[in-house]
A and B are shown apart, each in its own frame.
Chain A
Amino acid sequence: MSVNYIPAVFEVLRDTDRCIKCRACERQCANEVHYFDEDFDKMQVIEAQCVDCQRCVTICPTSALKIRKNQNEFREGANYPQKLIIENYLQAQTGAVLLSSMGNPVDLPVYWDKILINASQVTNPSIDPLREPMETKVYLGKKSLDIKRGDDGEIIPDTEYPQLELDVPIMFSAMSYGSISYNAHESLARAATQLGTFYNTGEGGLHKDFYKYGPNTIVQVASGRFGVSKQYLDQGAAIEIKMGQGAKPGIGGHLPGKKVNADVSQTRMIPMGTDAISPAPHHDIYSIEDLRQLIFSLKEATEYKKPVMVKIAAVHNVAAIASGIARSGADILVLDGFRGGTGAAPTRIRDNVGIPIELALAAVDQRLRDEHIRNEVSVVVAGSVRSSADCVKAFALGADACYIGTAALLAIGCHLCRSCHGAKCNWGIATQRADLVRRLNPDFAYKRLVNLVHAWDHEIKEMMGGMGINSIESLKGNRLMLRGVGLNDRELEILGIKHAGE
């Protein structure tokens, strides 16, 4: 039926004067957009299958390809934009929930971009990070200020609670083996090891090959409990309980059976080919006291040697929830904002549920200070930390460290086509297809991750130096270093910052 016709989202433009018919585009497109037409002796395209992953564009040896938005336009209308109309067509056709991946692309305020950073002039010298030491090492974990002294009067340097030492204040956020590929995991693990930071297994367990990166691994325990065993918990440097995810607060996860190959099945400890369903809640956590029990179960299981992190999605009453978690024995609290990525989420949830991480962080940090328990828990933010500037702003708002997910994937080749749920990632990241996974070369990818984080770390140091700060501790929660632009009083009040010019 013609009403079923869904216009292609993209147009694939090929400059035939440039095309040498090498067919690399054809070979490299898992969506089978390109094909060679023997009759016409030229390359042809099936545009409807294009997701604009840019793979063909980047590898074309003659730069003959361009992808652009389909110029075919419905009649304009701000209330019913073309995308929404088409989504309704699709749903009318299929009766299905719309699926999307990666972070919320909707044009909602990005507060990072409305916050500006201070620099020293005259009264206080800026510091040149190339000349003076500039420190970004961070320790995460609950801090006890109870000083214990030995009989000789000397301080006993016992932090009482386990700490995570980060050489750089950036970690790689949870992305499960299953949602991303073996090679992607290897890249993250190796990069974290080289950087002296941590990557996170996500909820898919830990492949035995990666046990060797354990000292730089955070193992996640999510509602599906996939791959969780004593051995698994023992591998990690820390354990993260995933209560929620910024991209899809309030719902669980679903890894389709076709992604559960032999390796994934073994790692997740589920039968091959079966769907891996993470329930929306943990069915042993229906309230805060249940969480406390899980936290202490995990601590018992690991002899109180590993910090336990609790990750929640940034939702409306996040500050109160955070306070509850800080009082429940968690060592580290992770806040995941509504622009955080995902391998697959219902579109409507991704685009409409949750709150911006900037506001959540500001509210949580202030609440914990108001309740004098900020020292009880470290705060890590995730959910679209896109640059070193975002990191600096996050630290100044009160974060101890940042998690990066999407930015890390960009470093290893992701072009943000937001088609992870299709499982045919042309960059070898969000796929389990062996031929596609191979496209991600961990030898390159881990170096690119290291480069990215080093570059950010340099920039963080530059900005700190500009502020006259030479250690990241002095940036943490230092909101005087921030000013808002174009924000209303309410927003400024929540962020705890003044407006530019004040």
Chain B
Amino acid sequence: MQKKEGEIRIPSGCAITGFISRNGNRISGGDAIKSIEVMHDRSNGLGGGFAGYGIYPEYKDQYAFHIFYESSEAKDYTEKYLDRHFDIINLSKIPTKQVKEITKEPLIWRYFVNPLPTRVAASQLDEEEYVAQCVLKINKDHKDSFVFSSGKNMGVFKAVGFPEDVGRFYRLDEYAGYSWTVHGRYPTNTPGWWGGAHPFALLDYSIVHNGEISSYDANRRFIEMFGYQCTLQTDTEVITYIIDFLNRKKKLTLSEIAEVIAAPFWTTIERREPKECERLKYLRNVFAGMLITGPFSIILGYKGGLMALNDRLKLRSMVVGEKDDMFYIASEECAIRAICKDAEDIRAPRGGEAVIAELNEEGRRKCL
């Protein structure tokens, strides 16, 4: 029997794209579909997905869980668990429409939840950690249930299929958000498990990634010491956890995170002025297990912004561009041009150079 994500490591190539309106204008998911569609050949129909930020303004204080169920028994079991740990404000099937390219869909449900304060207090964890541990617990222990989105005012939509078909399946033109990231997957083999598609998300963090990191098992075995379980064995999963750990738990800034996961070479570090050199040496040394090597280009989505990052040798293509308040990131320039003909300042960031685009003052006022 073919093994699915989590039972085996499946190498993939990919297409990624993403954009953000820094003024906080809400952009239709239709643009995200348009952008990824032109990179059709970078996917092979075995996975596609989207992450939209600012799409649930009406529930922006609740955690939005998107869950795949392979069976109604699984749904019952997990919903009982959710009941015990959360106050479920709203639940519904995620609206979809029939698309002939998308088949074998699981049960896809959405929950807007508040953690039960008493349970949070009893766990001695902060609220986010409590939520994260619940999500990880479900994904590890609940057979046939998989939480694939768990942030606030954001949502991940993914499936087996080409990403443009996945977008139509989820009717994303009906959603609007200040930022979107999209992923088209080219795995070398997969039985077609929906959970294995990307983006991968935990709380507000989502990752779309093109690459196959060579450091995977080193990173996995390291991050698993800190309460994470890499159940999918995907790069995206481990990168998400690492970023979650460094940003949420260790309070590193995004650019510091870039200096850890795509650290400069020692020779580069030696050339920096002494104070900077010491700082970079320190980060590399202490977080050695989180250095990611091998090819990757990622777009990290988080509350209020996007970060693009390439591996330090830049072994995967990635370009960025902008127009007015819009900031675009994509595997190929065509994906930007597809939605913004006259995008400006298109450039390829250097390996290891973190490119960050965030909501400005106005955008934050509008969206956060």
Contact = CB atoms under 8 A, between A and B. Distances in A.
Direct contact of A and B (CB under 8 A): yes
Interface of A: 120, 123-125, 127, 132-133, 135, 137, 139, 143-145, 147, 154-155, 157-159, 163, 369, 372, 374-375, 398, 467-471, 473-481
A317 B118 CA distance: 43
Contacts of B312: 470
B294 A124 contact: yes
B270 to A, nearest CB: 10
B224 A474 contact: no
A123 B251 contact: no
Contacts of B217: 477-481
Which size bracket describes the interface of B in this complex? 35 or more
Q: Which 9 A-B pairs have the closest CB atoms?
A: A474-B215, A157-B282, A468-B214, A480-B217, A478-B218, A474-B293, A123-B11, A124-B212, A473-B288
Contact of A159 (B12, B216, B285, B291): B285
Interface in B200-219: 211-219
A374 B215 CA distance: 17
A410 B56 CA distance: 69
Contacts of A473: 215, 218, 284, 288-289, 291, 293
A154 B221 CA distance: 29
A142 to B, nearest CB: 10
B215 A127 contact: no
B124 interface: no
Nearest to A472: B288
Contacts of A477: 217-218, 221-222, 289
A465 to B, nearest CB: 10
A420 to B, nearest CB: 37
Interface in B209-248: 211-219, 221-222, 224-226
A474 B296 CA distance: 14
B313 A470 contact: yes
B267 A475 contact: no
Contacts of B251: 147
Given A133-B265, A155-B282, A479-B221, A372 B226 contact: yes
A471 B262 CA distance: 11
Most chain B CB within a 10 A radius of its CB, from A159, A468, A479: A468
27 contacts: A120-B214, A123-B11, A123-B12, A124-B211, A124-B294, A127-B313, A132-B313, A133-B267, A135-B265, A135-B266, A143-B286, A144-B286, A154-B279, A155-B279, A158-B282, A163-B285, A468-B214, A468-B293, A468-B294, A470-B293, A470-B313, A471-B291, A477-B289, A478-B215, A478-B218, A480-B9, A481-B217
Most chain B CB within a 10 A radius of its CB, from A139, A155, A474, A475: A474
A480 B216 contact: yes
A143 B279 contact: no
A159 B286 contact: yes
Contacts of A124: 11, 211-214, 294-295
Given A123-B188, A125-B315, A469 B214 contact: yes
A473 B218 CA distance: 8
Interface in B39-59: none
A133 B312 CA distance: 10
A143 B288 contact: yes
A116 to B, nearest CB: 15
Contacts of B225: 369, 372, 374-375
B221 A474 contact: no
Contacts of A125: 295, 315
Contacts of B216: 478, 480
Nearest to A120: B214
A123 B284 CA distance: 27
B364 to A, nearest CB: 20
A305 to B, nearest CB: 17
A157 B278 contact: yes
B271 interface: no
Contacts, number: 114
A139 B266 contact: no
Contact of A145 (B12, B221, B287): B287
Interface string B178-216: 000000000010000000000000000000000111111
Contacts of A474: 214-215, 218-219, 291-294
Given A375-B289, A473-B293, 19 more contacts: A120-B214, A123-B11, A123-B12, A123-B13, A125-B295, A145-B287, A154-B279, A157-B283, A374-B222, A374-B225, A468-B294, A469-B214, A473-B218, A473-B288, A474-B218, A477-B222, A477-B289, A478-B214, A478-B215
B214 A139 contact: no
A123 B288 contact: no
A468 B291 CA distance: 13
Nearest to A144: B286
Contacts of B279: 154-155, 157
Contacts of B252: 147
A479 B224 CA distance: 14
Given A372-B225, A473-B289, A474-B291, A155 B9 contact: no
B294 A469 contact: yes
B100 interface: no
Contacts of B284: 473
B79 interface: no
A159 B263 CA distance: 17
B127 interface: no
A479 to B, nearest CB: 5
Contacts of A374: 222, 225
A124 B221 CA distance: 20
A398 B304 CA distance: 38
B31 interface: no
Nearest to A157: B282
A387 B81 CA distance: 53
A475 B12 CA distance: 20
B12 A476 contact: no
B250 A147 contact: yes
B351 to A, nearest CB: 10
A334 B342 CA distance: 61
A169 to B, nearest CB: 12
Contacts of B250: 145, 147
Contacts of B214: 120, 124, 467-469, 474, 478, 481
B66 interface: no
Contacts of B215: 469, 473-475, 478
Interface string B4-21: 000001011100000000
Contacts of A369: 221, 224-225
Contacts of B213: 124
A478 B188 CA distance: 21
Nearest to B12: A123
Most chain B CB within a 10 A radius of its CB, from A120, A147, A154: A147
B281 to A, nearest CB: 7
